[in-house]
Structures are given as structure tokens and as C-alpha cells.
Structure 1
Amino acid sequence: MADFKTEIYNFAQKTTARIGTKLLEDYGQLKPDFKADGSLVTQADKWADQEIQNAIYDYFPSHDVLTEEGSHVFSGAEWCWVIDPIDGTTNFTRGIPIWGISLGLVYQGMPIFGYVHFPNLNQSFHGYWYGDSESKESNGAFLNNIPIQTSKDNPSNNHFFNLCSRSTDVLKKSVPCKIRMLGVTTYDFLSVATGAALGGVETTPKVWDLAGIWPIVQAAGGVFVTLVEDLPFPLREGEDYGDRSYPTLVVSRPELIPTFKPLVEFLGKR
């Protein structure tokens, strides 16, 4: 297991560093197009997506790939990488430095390893999550190879709760923290993993928004709360995930679920 952990870490680190260096050349320079769902896409997204796919197939020929810009159907492969080549394309095109490259490695439908690289910020997150099992000592979450963990604090006006642009109706409620809107699903939730925020909510994340951070956040002590009955993981063979969103709340510890869930659960009923 140790050798495999090192192997997948080294692959993710080298691949995202290489891709990130090229993306920095295009950062803030490209005119985006609109996808069918109204979100933005650039030639850089498509290039990065294909480059990552090629790298995976070259290095792990038995692994499959599920990507935002490519195939959305899960083949049922035992090992599958779930890719978001640029999480935060709007930030990327507008010259806002918070955007990243997200890779999640799924085993039998469940994410067990995640790596998210933010080139502008010089921040790389990674983590391993094998659940609450006898292998739990193998779990771990890291920022630039330094262990991270969620905050144990109680909510106050000096703490943060992250929103996405589609969840601003939460502001009509009494949120017990200051609000932040970063524009990047992975960074919203990873800021909970580092202890910078106590929670965050995203209304329309797809599986490629969640796969890379799923192991990291949980290994750091955070909790995912899916606001709809249909759970993102485990992935199901033959399912097309292209049009499926999973409204999701993340909190820093289980005790805060009763504090934040009532504020955001209406997002799962839209």
C-alpha cells in the first residue's frame, strides 16, 4: 500500500505541476465559450483535460477516466480517475487567481485519493481516505505536504462560512459566521479542511467537483452532507453524470451539522 500511495502521489504531483505551468501562460488571456448549462469553457480546459487523460492512460493503462470535458459515463472499472481540468474557469478567464486542477482516484466507485493543485497560489492539497475501517491509520490530509485538519471552534462572527453564487438565498437567514464567496467548489471545501472556514455549501457540484476533495476533507476531519437523496458516491456503472448535480454541505465536524444544515437544506429541494 505504501508503494502505491507514493506512486499515485508522484503521478498526480508531476502531472498537475506540468499542466499548471502551461495553464499559467493562458491565465486571464483566453476568451471563453458557453457550455449548454451556461458555464464557461476555454481551449485551456479542453487541452488540460486531454493532457491529463493521456498521462493517465500512459501510466495506468488499466485505469479508466471520467472527466468534465470528456466522458461522463462511469464504465464500472475497478480503478477510475475523475478529472476537473480547471475548477474555477470563470476565475481563470477573468484573472482571479483562485482556480485549480483536481484529480480524484476512485476504487470500486469510491474516492480514496485526491490531489488538487492551485498554480497561482502555489498550493497543492492531497489526501487519502479509506473510511472508518482498520485501515484508518492510512488516512491523511496535507497542504504542501504539511498535515492539515479542520477547526474545532464553535461558530462566531469571526469565523467563515462559504457560499456559491447559486446559494445566496442563505443570506436571508441568520448565518452564525461571516460569509465568503470564492467561486471555486474545491477551494470552498478545502478551506474547511485547513481550518480556515467552519463550513461551506455548493448548490450544483458535479462528481468531478467532489471526487478530488472527497478524501482530503474527510481525512482532515470534515463531514460531507449531501442535500438530496441521490448520493454522488459510490459511482454506479453505466450512469451518465454529465447532468447530475449534488447540492452539498461540508462542515468541520459532525457537531456542527445541526447548526448549518437547517440553513441550507432548502437548496436540495430546488
Structure 2
Amino acid sequence: MYKEFDINECLAQTITWAKEVGKIHLEYFRKKELSIETKSSSYDLLTIADKLSEEYIVEQIRHAYPDHQVLAEESGLNEMVSDFCWVIDPVDGTTNFAQGIPIFSVSIGLRYRGKGIMGVVYAPFMDELFYAIKGQGVFHNGKPIHVSNKTELHQSLLCTGFPYDHGTNPDNNTDNIARILPHCRDIRRLGSAAYDLCCIAAGYFDGFWEMNLKDWDVAAATVIIEEAGGQVIRFRKEPNYCIIAANALIVGQMQEYIK
């Protein structure tokens, strides 16, 4: 399908890269010298671990696949024109990372002609590795996983997050929480969308929604969820991703309350 491109070899390389990035994360985690900066707002953080992690992944891709396009959170889209596009979040959950909270991850997705074909998400503090190739199943630390088989929203544990502009934009997801909370078992907010979505794939959460996510938040995890038998749908037509993720039955029931 991809001519002379070996996607299984590519997956093995990507897992190696993700684990090396995990070492960078842990080298700086809970250390004082994080060189914290802000981006779009005071809530949108950037640390030295973000920069070094992205530089490492981009360098590895350029060496292994010099003709591939790369879209990375901090450096944007390179000028390469290619059927293949890597989508990278070097530290997903930077606020957690900067605060010393151990829920953060590196997310590396690969798209072919705009469609996801591979995803790797690694949460280094917990040593949790999720990975999938389109059509070849999905694995968590080497074991196959599947989305929850819950059929009723009132039995479901949900997960969500808040957009970075929640302090200035009244469209900040609080209304969705107020509508859906009475109809589900409970709601959690962990702070790393890529990891949250992988927990959907593994059945640890039964449903997830969030607004204003970016490509690098969802590219890898979408492949992982779909290979686990789940659905990822967009509930708004916006450039950014406003998504619901769960099994098909729970997605349908969540749509009644998520606007």
C-alpha cells in the first residue's frame, strides 16, 4: 500500500523514539530548571522538556524519513510536500508536567494522505505505552486492548478537559459538564488528552469529550481508539477538534448532552 515503506519497522522506530523522549521528560520532571514560558495565554505553558523532546523527534524523522512532512506543536508544519505527515506532541499535559503531576505523555502519529495509519503514545512516569497500526490492532504494554463494553451512560465513567482560553471564553465546557454530570457515573479530568484517549481505548474510561483540541492532541490516539473498536466523532464543525470518543452506543448517548 505504501510502496517501499515498511510500517512495522516504522512502528518499532517510533516506539524507540517515544521511550527516548520519555527519558528527557523524566530527566526534567519535578526539577526546578524547567525554563517555563507562556504561549497563547498564562495557562498555555512551554518548558525546556517540550523543546528538547520535539527537537529530538524531528531530528530522528528527518534522518529516517527525510522526504516526510512533519507537523509539530512547537515548530509547526515543515515545508516538505509528502503523502506522509508526522504529527507530534512532545509533551501532552505540560501543565501537569510543570506542576509535578505525573500524568503527561508524548504523542506521535503518522498520517498517509490525510488519514491516520499509526499512533504511539507513551506516558513515561507510569511506563505506559499505547500503540497501533491501522488494521493491525492496538496494544498497551504489549497486550491487546479494547474499548469499554458499557451500554448505558448512567453506568459510565467519563473524562474531559478544558480549553486554554477557559478564563476568557465563556464557551469553556462548563455547560456541557452541567448537562451530562447528572446522567453519568462520574467525570474525571486528568490533563493529558492523548493519555485520556488511550484510556478510552483500554476501557479505563467509558467516554471522553473535549473542545478545541489540535491535530497533535488527537492524531495518534484516534488511530489507537479506532483500532480498539471505538469511535471518535467531531460534534462541532470547527478548524480545531471538538470530539467525543467512546464505543458507538455511549457516543450516541453522550451526543444528547454535549453541544
Shorter-chain TM-score bucket reads 0.7 to 0.9
- Give the whole-Å Cα distance in 1 for the aligned partners of 2:99 and 2:35: 9
1:36 is aligned to: 40
Match of 1:240 in 2: none
Counterpart position of 1:203? 211
Partner of 1:82: 87
Distance 1:262 1:31, change over 3 A: farther
Question: Any idea what the Cα deviations from partners look like across 1:173-212, whole Å, max 9, x if unmatched?
Answer: 2332211111111122111100111111111210010111
Q: Deviations over 1:224-261 (max 9, x none)?
A: 1102224xxxxxxxxxxxxx42111111x212233101
Give the aligned partner of residue 27 of structure 1.
Answer: 29
Q: Counterparts in 2 of 1:221-240, with a 5 A limit? A: 221-230=229-238
Deviation at 1:76, TM superposition (A): 4.6
The number of residues matched between the two structures is: 243
Equivalent residues of 2:161, 2:190 under 8 A apart = yes
Q: Answer with 104-113 or 173-182: which moved more.
A: 173-182
Amino acid aligned to 2:39: K
CA distance in 1, matches of 2:219, 2:41: 20
User: Compared with structure 1, are the counterparts of its residues 79 and 219 closer, same or farther at alpha carbon in structure 2 (3 Å cutoff)?
Assistant: same
* One-letter amino acid of the structure 1 residue matched with residue 173 of structure 2: S
- 2:20 is equivalent to residue 18 of structure 1: yes
- Counterpart CA distance in 2 for 1:229 and 1:149 is 28
1:150 aligns with 2:150: no
Q: Would you say 1:100 and 2:105 are equivalent positions?
A: yes
The answer to whether the 8 Å contact 1:104/1:111 transfers is yes
Aligned to 1:189: 197
Quote the sequence identity (%).
30
Query: What secondary structure does 1:212 align onto?
Result: helix
Three-state SS of the structure 1 residue aligned to 2:25 is helix
Aligned-residue RMSD, C-alpha: 2.0
Task: Determine if contact 1:167/1:201 at 8 Å carries over to the other structure.
Answer: no
1:65 lines up with 2:67 in the alignment? no
Assess, with a 3 A threshold, how the Cα gap between structure 1 residues 155 and 209 changes in structure 2: closer, same or farther: same
Q: Which residue is equivalent to 1:268? A: none
Q: Say whether the 8 Å CA contact 1:76–1:108 is kept in structure 2.
A: no
Query: Aligned in 2, Cα 1:92/1:195: closer, same or farther, shift over 3 Å?
Result: same
Tell me the SS of whatever aligns to 1:121.
coil
Residue among 246, 249, 262 paired with 2:256: 262
C-alpha distance in structure 1 between counterparts of 2:125 and 2:110, whole Å: 24
1:32 is displaced (CA, Å) by 1.8
Cα deviation, 1:27-86, whole Å, max 9, x if unaligned, reads 122242110244111121011111110000101112111100012468552111100000
Q: Determine which of 180, 183, 205 is the counterpart of 1:175.
A: 183
Q: Distance in 1 between matches of 2:69 and 2:10?
A: 14
Unaligned runs of 5+ in 1: 130-137, 231-243, 266-270
What is the SS of the residue equivalent to 2:175? Answer: helix
State the one-letter code of the partner of 1:36: S
Segments of 5+ residues of structure 2 without an aligned counterpart are 163-171
Moved more, 159-168 or 38-47: 159-168
Contact 2:208–2:245 (CA under 8 A) maintained in structure 1: yes
Q: Secondary structure at the match of 1:263?
A: coil
